[in-house]
Amino acid sequence: MGWLGSLLGRLLSSAAKRRPRHPIPDALWRDTLAACPWLDNRTESERARLRDLCALFLEDKEFHGAQGLSITDAMAVQIAAQACLPVLGFGTGSLPLRWYDDFVTIVVQPEEVLAPRTVMDEHGVVHEYEEELAGEAMPEGPVMLSWQDVRTASDAEAIAQGYNVVIHEFVHKLDLRDGVADGCPPLPAGFMGLAPRAAHAHWLDTLQTAYEGFKEACIRAERFGEAETWLDPYGAEHISEFFAVASEAYFVNRARFTQEHPTLLALFDAFYRPGA
């Protein structure tokens, strides 16, 4: 194995066994579960592991309230629970948090913010505009969230629509892990019983097919008055946005997601819940 391999093995073993120094208090955790009712379908064991992972996440990350917003313990734990859910199945101890080790800061805005954007069209003309953001995941940088949108996680309407801004932005972090926002995060060895290249191709083929169908449905709804899509039409902007929008819906409204996107269910289950 060699010295370097042995050292890496010890580090991974230590991370797998890491326990939180400051466990989340019972009352605070009960309040968090109440704020995230879609966790009710998780097993008691899964919720216990999520609780520990949230405590480790809070030890590693720093929260910054913008525009005078004061971050309470309840706010931080609620965000942590939603941020940690996508990586819950990625190992024990603090191993799952390696997916988030490219940043430390989470900036929480009181409400949505306007971000300046500059794009060049196919004719070389530069257009400047402002985009309203509920959240943003910056490559190798912080995550920004609108508290106004975060707090809707417990709303029946948000759950029905499969909406969750925290999960959305942290799924972007998974996608960006390999440096490319293409809707395909790094896949584990042996993913779905396939070799690495075959697994990557299968993921992209499956997601691309679903994405193209979704874009077409969005166009028909907008231009011809057909039924609106269940998933947020924002997912039609780019395949990376489709991956994030589909993932948030997968976690908060699995039943409806299964009906709407059955071809993605097995793919997401194999990635987010291996061995389940």
User: Across the beta sheet with 135-137, what order do the strands follow?
Assistant: 62-65, 105-109, 143-146, 135-137
- Among the listed residues 203, 196, 185, the one whose alpha carbon sits nearest the alpha carbon of residue 90: 185
Place of tokens 């799952």: 96
pLDDT at res. 116 = 62
State the average pLDDT over residues 126-135.
72
- Quick check: 140 pLDDT over 50? yes
What is the C-alpha separation between 246 and 231, in angstroms, rounded?
A: 7
May I ask the CATH architecture of the domain 180-276?
A: 3-Layer(aba) Sandwich (3.40)
Cβ proximity of 205 and 197 under 8 Å = no
Q: Where are the domains of the chain?
A: 17-155, 180-276
Mean pLDDT of the chain: 91
Cβ proximity of 201 and 212 under 8 Å = no
Place of tokens 């975060």: 150
What beta strand segments (E) does the chain contain? 62-65, 105-109, 113-120, 126-133, 135-137, 143-146
Percentage, residues of the chain above pLDDT 90: 81
pLDDT at res. 9 = 54
Cβ proximity of 165 and 150 under 8 Å = yes
pLDDT at res. 1 = 45
Token pair recorded at residue 89? 């199945």
Residue type, 206: T
Fold of 17-155: Cyclin A; domain 1 (1.10.472)
Residue 93: pLDDT band (50, 70, 90) is confident
pLDDT at res. 4 = 45
- Quick check: 10 pLDDT over 70? no
Q: What is the pLDDT of residues 143-170, one digit of tens each?
A: 999 999 999 989 999 999 999 999 999 9
Cβ proximity of 251 and 86 under 8 Å = yes
pLDDT at res. 14 = 67
Within 10 angstroms of residue 248's Cβ, the number of other Cβ atoms is 28
> Of 6-15, 43-52, 69-78, which range is least confident?
6-15
